[in-house]
Amino acid sequence: GAGVSQSPSNKVTEKGKDVELRCDPISGHTALYWYRQSLGQGLEFLIYFQGNSAPDKSGLPSDRFSAERTGGSVSTLTIQRTQQEDSAVYLCASSLGGAMVAQHFGDGTRLSIL
C-alpha cells in the first residue's frame, strides 16, 4: 500500500518568499505530525494533528509557520517570509493515533533558502 507521501521532494526559493509543503498521510491514519530536521540537530517537533481535536502547535518556531489539515487527511505546512535559517528537511509522519503507536514517515521535503 501507499506510504506517506510528501511534495515537493526538493524546494529552492529566495529569502522572503512563502512556501507550502504538502503531506499525504497513509489512508485511515488519524494522527499527522510535522518535524524539522536540520543538519546535526535531530528531529524538531513542529505540530501534530489528531482527528478533529485542536492541533498541538507547541513546536512551531515562529508565527511565520502554520499548518492545516483538511478533511482529516492531507496537510499543508506553510512558511511565510522565509529566512535562511528555515533551510532544513521537513518530515511528515502519520499514525493510527496514540502515544504507543509507531509513526510512519515520508521521505521529506528538502527546503533550501537562498
Partner 1 sequence: AQSVTQLGSHVSVSEGALVLLRCNYSSSVPPYLFWYVQYPNQGLQLLLKYTSAATLVKGINGFEAEFKKSETSFHLTKPSAHMSDAAEYFCAVSEGTGGFKTIFGAGTRLFVKA
The footprint of partner 1 (CB under 8 A) covers 4, 31, 33, 35, 40-43, 45, 48, 50, 56, 58-59, 91, 93, 95, 97-103, 105-108
CB of 72 to partner 1, least distance (A): 15
Is the CB of 65 or the CB of 108 nearer to partner 1? 108
- Angstrom distance (rounded) from CA 97 to CA 19: 28
CB of 51 to partner 1, least distance (A): 11
Among 25, 35, 18, smallest CA distance to 75 is for: 25
Which grid cell is 7? 511534495
Q: Are 114 and 19 in contact (CB under 8 A)?
A: no
CB of 74 to partner 1, least distance (A): 17
Q: Classify residue 51 by its DSSP letter.
A: T
Is the CB of 82 or the CB of 90 nearer to partner 1? 90
CB of 16 to partner 1, least distance (A): 28
- Angstrom distance (rounded) from CA 37 to CA 47: 13
Is the CB of 2 or the CB of 99 nearer to partner 1? 99
- Angstrom distance (rounded) from CA 34 to CA 23: 9
